[in-house]
Structures are given as C-alpha cells and as structure tokens.
Amino acid sequence: QVQLVESGGGSVQAGGSLRLSCEASGLRYRTYTWAWFRQAPGEEREGVAGLRSPGGGTSYADSVKGRFTISQDNANNILYLQMNDLKPEDTAVYYCAARMAALLSAGQSLQRASYKSWGQGTQVTVSL
C-alpha cells in the first residue's frame, strides 16, 4: 500500500511561486505513474500534471503548461510540483496520486479514475 503525504501549500499573490512536495512510502514496484491533481470548491478534481517512472515522460493540463513543472527525486521518493506565475484560478486543494506497476498514456495520466493511491491534499490560495 502506497502512502502519500503532500506539503508546501500556502497563500501567495498572483505571479508568485510555490513548490509542492509529495513524500511516498510503501513503494514495492519499479514502475509507477505519478500525478498531481487539484480540486476547487464546487468543481471536479482535475489532472494537472503526470509523470511516468522510469522514463520521465511528463504530461500537463493546457491550463498549466509553461507554468508548472512536475519532477521526482527518485533517491528520496519525493514528487514535486513547481508552480510559477500563479493565478487566482489556480486556487484549489492539490493532491498527489500514484498508480503502481503501470506507465499510463499522457491522457490516462491526467484522469482521476486511473489512480488508486491518493494523498490528503494541500491547500493553495492565490490572491490578486
């Protein structure tokens, strides 16, 4: 059973940056697809960024391309989401997700139904 713990959320002004972290434990496989999702109040949970490991292939939602970067520290089992040029519409609870023993396609990696392991979420608030 994979355990995921997010951190790094907070409040920033528009144009600012935050880096989210997700510490993973209980990893038993060599192959995973990782992702960050977000959910704003009253909205569906949406995929923001995905990463396939090994290989390092990434995918992003159109709304964050060029602003967000997903990466991984393999040695320490930490997933990151670097968020730059933040906008008020980025305000949401951000969740880390993992799919064991699978390299999902770019499209699948941003679909909520593809994942079985989730963190508890971390709040990101962006103000004008």
Which pLDDT tens digit goes with each residue over 91-100? Answer: 999 999 999 9
Neighbours of 2 (CB within 10 A): 19
Cβ pair 50, 33 in contact under 8 A = yes
Structure-block tokens of residue 103: 């390299």
Q: Is the pLDDT of residue 62 over 90?
A: yes
Give which of 88, 76, 94 is closest to 19, Cα–Cα: 94
Question: Using only C-alpha atoms, what is the Rg of the chain?
Answer: 14
Provide the residue type at 113 as one letter: A
Q: Is the pLDDT of residue 30 over 90?
A: no
Res 76: pLDDT: 87
Separation between Cα atoms, residue 49 and residue 35, nearest integer Å: 5
Give which of 73, 89, 66 is closest to 21, Cα–Cα: 73
Separation between Cα atoms, residue 68 and residue 51, nearest integer Å: 13
What is the pLDDT confidence band of residue 68, given thresholds at 50, 70 and 90?
very high
To the nearest 10°, report the CA torsion of 26, 1, 24, 77.
50
Res 1: pLDDT: 84
Which of 28-32, 45-49, 114-118 is least confident? 28-32
